[in-house]
Structures are given as C-alpha cells and as structure tokens.
Structure 1
Amino acid sequence: MSKLKYYYDSDTLSYRKIERKKRTTFKYALIFLSAAAFFAFIFVFIGSQYIESPKERTLKRELQNALLQFELLNKKMEHAEAVLENIADRDNNIYRVYFEANPIPDEQRRAGFGGINRYKNLEGYDNTRLIVESNRRLDILQKQIVVQSKSLDEIATLAEEKEKLLAAIPAIQPVSNADLTRMASGYGMRSDPFTKVRKMHKGMDFSAPRGTPIYASGDGIVTRADSRSTGYGKHIRIDHGYGYTSLYAHLYKYNVRRNQKVKRGDLIGFVGSTGRSQAPHLHYEIRKDKRAINPINFYYGSLTAEEFNKLLEHATLENQSLD
C-alpha cells in the first residue's frame, strides 16, 4: 500500500494531502520503463558480446572440431596426391613405355575442371576458402583416380596381350642341340644341291638323324600337316597369330594334326628326308605377314650366348643347302 504524502498549507495553517496527477504518474512510469528497457538492452548487448551461452560454447567447439577435421582431410589429400602422382609417373614412363602405349597427357588427367564455377553454392561463409579448396582437391583426386583406373585396365589388357605375344612368337630352336648333327645351311643366297645355281634359301637346314624329334617353336594352331606343297614333302605349318607362322619340312612323320592347338616345346613331328631333299634334315622357316624372315633372330628362348654365336657363325656361311 502506497504511503500518503502531505504538505503544510500556510494559508490555512493546516496539512493537506498531496494529490498526484495522472499525467505525472504516466510520465514517471514511462521514464521508468524506458530506463529499464535501456539497461536491459545494454545488458543483453554486453552479454551477447562477452558472455557465451552453453549452446554457443557447444557450437563453437563443434566448429573448431570441423575446422580441425578439414585440416586433417587436406593433409590426407596431400599424401594421396603424392601417391597418385607417383603412380601416374610410373604409368607414363614405365608401364606404357614397356607396352608401347602412348602416355596420358596431364591435360587429360585433369580435364573437366575449367570454365564454370562449380563451387558457387559454397561461397558466402566464414570458411568458404577452406571448404572450396577441399572440395576442389577432392574432385581432382576423384577424376585422376578414374583416369588412372582406366589406364591400368588398359595396361592389364596390354600385359595379357604381351604375354600371349611372347608365348606365340617362335622363340626356340625346333631341334634340340643334343640331337643336332650340324646346322647345315642358313637363311640367304645358297647353292641349290640339285641345280648348283645360287638362289634364295628362305629358311635354315638342321641336319639330324631320321626320327629326331621336332618341337613347336611357339604357341599356335596347326594349319597344315600334309605333303601337298611342292618340294617340302611332309611338312607342318603353325599359325602363331600376330602375323607369325612357322614351317617344318621334309618330315619322316607327324605327331600333330590340322587345327590342333600346340604350345611352345610340344613334340610335333620327326626329322626325315621327304620331298626335295638330299639327306635327313629339318628345313625350318619363319614368316611374318606372309614374308619369309631370318629364323636366326628367334632363338633367344633356347640357346646360350655361346651356342647362339656358334649357330650364327655357321648360318652366315654361303654353302650348299640340303633342299
């Protein structure tokens, strides 16, 4: 209950009650409310600037943790970029060189990241630079991984083809050195044993006893095992693929049939003297894209350096062939 206030009236020599006017009461109330609102605003402003609420402290910790995770992510991406760069370098300068494939240019590895701003939706935040840079590096990494993955798929295919090619190329001597009497004649111009005229001898003659085993010099498919070719007598032809074929002539008998698949080193026949031949021997030819080539260059799979040099010495002699 509010206290009553009085004042002394000298005219009437008595105390009179002070009557407060409503306007004055309203004015005082307005002043009080204004002052209260002002101090409340000051308190809220100061509090918001210098005093953190529990929720704000939680959000601040979460933001700091997010920034830390972004920094750690960037360090991991730096490591991944270094590893991928090393793989790309080996891919271009080792794998693709070995398998005779063109290197992948850097423009192709990093293609698709120019032009439009693909990170516009990430702009306008306090940490925009960090977020955009992390996303950009991650996109580049993903692109490079896709390109490198496709390249390695190609290398795997090339390796498989290379393995097949190496197995298919006629790479061993068709008659074992242990069974060989001598290398009678090499590839090149030789004296014909029947006409005594010099002519092109398109293969190599290996002199060996009748019945000496003959081996396939590379993987392939037997395309002929017959005597229906002039001069060769009983002979075998093997298609090795990649344009290579080998021919084995003057056989005593066969150990394979037409369309049969053979592996390098398989026994395919035996030395004889059928057809146009002066003595038991194997006439051996290699053809690339249907053109005869010197077989001397294809014995890396079965001869030592010393044996090869000796064979090369005999092969270069311009003597008389046996067929």
Structure 2
Amino acid sequence: MAKVKYYYDSEKLAYQKIRTRKTKKFGFLMLFLLASALFGFLSFIVLLNTPYFETPKDRLQAREIENLKLNYAILDKKMEQVADVVDDIEDRDNNVYRVYFNTAAIPEEKRKEGFTLKNRYKALEGYNNSQLVVNSTKKMDVLSKELAIQSQSLDEILKLAKAKSNLLAAIPAIQPVRNENLKRMASGFGYRTDPFTKVRKMHEGMDFTATIGTPIYATGDGVVERADNTASGFGNHIVIRHGYGYETLYGHLSKYKCRAGQHVKRGDIIGYVGSTGRSEGPHLHYEVHKDGNVVNPLNFYYGNISAIEYVAISKLANQENQSLD
C-alpha cells in the first residue's frame, strides 16, 4: 500500500493530505522505464564486449578464424615443401646443368632480390593476424620469383642442350670406311712421300684402301657443299659442311650417292670408293677441316671404334710411308 504524505496548511491550521496528479505519476513512470531501458542497453553492450558472453554469430566467426589459421598453417607447410624442391632444382641447375654447358651459375642474390624492402608489405600490417599474412605472402612472392627465374634458366639450358646436341651430331666422329671393309690404312696425316714426285710433302688427310665400290659414310651431320670432280687431284670428291667450323672432304670416289645441297646424317652412305683423279690405287682420301685449318682425322674416330682398334690404327697412321695420292 502506498505511503500517504501530508503537509501543514497554515490558513486552516490543520494537516492536509498530499494528492499527486495522475499526469505527474505517469511522467515518473515513463522516466523510470526509460532509465531502465537505457541501463539495460548499456549493460548489454558491455556484455557483448567481454569474453564471458558470446553470441552464436561470435562463435561462428571464431570457428572461421581458427579454420583460416589452420589453412594458413597448412599452406605455409606446403610452401616450405615446394621451396625445398625449388632449392634442389636450383642446386642441380647451378652445379650440374650449367657446369655441363660451361655457363655461369645464377647467384643466390639474384634469385631472391627485392624482398628486403621494409615497406613492401606495409598494407598488410595493423590487423590481428598481420604477421601470419605477411609471412605467407612473402614466402609466396619469393617462390614465385624463384620459379620465374628457374623457368627462364631451364629455357636457356634447353637451348644450350639443343645446340650441344647439334654440335655433337655435327662433329665428324666416325671412320668414313668401316673396319671390316678395309684392306689396310695406307697412309696417315703428316709428312709423307708423294707417290708421283717421290718428294716428302704434307699429306693433309688419311688414306683408306678398300675395293672399288666399298660404301663411304658421312662422318657427321651436315650439308653437302659439293659433289663433283672440279678440284685438282681429288677426282670425284665430296665436301660436307657440318657447321661449328667443321668440314670434311672425301676424295677419289667411283660414284656419288648424294648431291650438292643435300642434308646428310652421320652414318649415311654418300658415295663409293674408287681411284679417280691423282690416285695410285683404289682408296679413299679423307680430310677434316676445323675453322679453315686441316686437322688430324685420327683425333675424331671415337664414335665407332674400340680403344684397341684406335691404338692399332694410330700406329699405322703414324708410320712415315708413301701416300696413295
């Protein structure tokens, strides 16, 4: 029951009951309700910003954040594994491939340059997990740069390999006449007695004696520059330009099996042994030229003879005898 309040009326000399108007009561009630609502709202806001009160949305966001952290950790581990593989490829690139092709290694600084700038990842700072994001982004950038440089390096190695392959195929690396078809190795490279003048002179090739019609093989890949008998002394002869400064000559043929301008491969039959031109008997006169200079053909027979055969033919080639042309 509400407490009744009184006041003293001096005119009537008596206590009178205090009567509160209804509108005033209603105003007090509304003020109380408003204050209660405001207090409740402020309390709710405070609770929302404390770790002791979580909404379903907060719990969902917390789980998503944990999942993102886990995914970043997995991604980071995978990037470390990829980095290990890239390091292994870089090591082989510098110490195997580039050494084989006599090419300078790519410095480590070049592969990783540009990632020491302080402000490179400034836009990623200032967040709750900035360090995690910055580290992952930096690793990904470093890997991307290393892979780009390694890709360029492997393209370069591929070009070098193709050039090396072409060079190896072009070098005149086999005998022009097979051993089983030889009667003997008549004369080697060096000073020999001329069969016609009997004067000691430089013999710029090797003479292989064989029966007329014995196949003659291209000793390296190349293009037939000439197949005619216009050069003095060689009779029917062939000249093959191999590239890389190499050129070979095959003289005294009985007939051709190629023509000028034709591409030939090492081991292709290009003609047959004869005795045309300035010749003392059926044989092949064979020369190797490198950068315009005659060189000893014996240095190039590593493609189809054994070590024992090489020693035997070397002894014969170094004997100072009479040449056949």
Q: Deviation at 1:30?
A: 6.7
Q: Distance in 2 between matches of 1:307 and 1:149?
A: 45
Q: Choose the corresponding residue for 2:315, options 308, 313, 316.
A: 313
Q: Distance in 2 between matches of 1:126 and 1:48?
A: 16
Q: Choose the corresponding residue for 2:112, options 110, 113, 124.
A: 110
Q: Choose the corresponding residue for 2:188, options 172, 176, 186.
A: 186
For 2:42, the aligned partner's letter is F
Q: Distance in 1 between matches of 2:253 and 2:93?
A: 48
Q: Are 2:55 and 1:45 aligned? A: no
Q: Answer whether contact 1:6 1:15 (CA < 8 A) is retained.
A: no
Q: Deviation at 1:279?
A: 1.6
Q: Distance in 2 between matches of 1:170 and 1:304?
A: 16
Identity %: 54
For 2:149, the aligned partner's letter is V
Q: Deviation at 1:98?
A: 1.8
Q: Distance in 2 between matches of 1:241 and 1:47?
A: 83
Q: Answer whether contact 1:207 1:282 (CA < 8 A) is retained.
A: yes
Q: Deviation at 1:37?
A: 4.4
Q: Answer whether contact 1:239 1:246 (CA < 8 A) is retained.
A: yes
Q: Deviation at 1:40?
A: 5.2
For 2:253, the aligned partner's letter is L
Residue 238 of structure 1 corresponds to 240
1:119 is paired with a residue whose SS is: helix
Q: Answer whether contact 1:4 1:18 (CA < 8 A) is retained.
A: no
CA deviations on 1:144-165 (whole Å, 9 max, x unpaired) are 1111111111222222222222
Residue 282 of structure 2 corresponds to 280
Q: Distance in 2 between matches of 1:102 and 1:273?
A: 51
CA deviations on 1:92-114 (whole Å, 9 max, x unpaired) are 11112222222222122223334
Q: Deviation at 1:29?
A: 8.1
1:217-232 alignment, distance < 5 Å = 217-232=219-234
Residue 210 of structure 2 corresponds to 208
Q: Answer whether contact 2:223 2:241 (CA < 8 A) is retained.
A: yes
Residue 302 of structure 1 corresponds to 304
Q: Are 2:81 and 1:82 aligned? A: no
Q: Choose the corresponding residue for 1:156, options 146, 158, 162.
A: 158
Name structure 2 gaps, 5 residues minimum: none
Distance 1:255 1:39, change over 3 A: closer
Residue 140 of structure 2 corresponds to 138
Q: Distance in 2 between matches of 1:63 and 1:184?
A: 88
Q: Deviation at 1:296?
A: 0.8
Residue 123 of structure 1 corresponds to 125
2:186 is paired with a residue whose SS is: strand
Q: Answer whether contact 1:244 1:289 (CA < 8 A) is retained.
A: yes
Between the two proteins, the alignment pairs up a number of residues equal to: 322
Residue 199 of structure 1 corresponds to 201
Residue 95 of structure 1 corresponds to 97
Name structure 1 gaps, 5 residues minimum: none
For 1:102, the aligned partner's letter is A
Q: Distance in 2 between matches of 1:29 and 1:272?
A: 130
Distance 1:35 1:315, change over 3 A: same
Q: Answer whether contact 2:218 2:267 (CA < 8 A) is retained.
A: yes
Q: Answer whether contact 2:225 2:260 (CA < 8 A) is retained.
A: yes
1:259 is paired with a residue whose SS is: coil
CA deviations on 1:260-287 (whole Å, 9 max, x unpaired) are 1111111111111222221211110111
1:27-46 alignment, distance < 5 Å = 37-38=38-39, 41-42=42-43, 44-46=45-47
Q: Distance in 2 between matches of 1:167 and 1:202?
A: 23
Q: Distance in 2 between matches of 1:142 and 1:274?
A: 66
CA RMSD, aligned part only? 2.9
Residue 5 of structure 1 corresponds to 4
Q: Answer whether contact 2:7 2:18 (CA < 8 A) is retained.
A: no
What is the TM-score when the length of structure 1 is the normalising length?
Answer: 0.90
Distance 1:284 1:58, change over 3 A: same
Q: Answer whether contact 1:4 1:17 (CA < 8 A) is retained.
A: no
Q: Deviation at 1:14?
A: 7.9
Q: Are 2:15 and 1:18 aligned? A: no
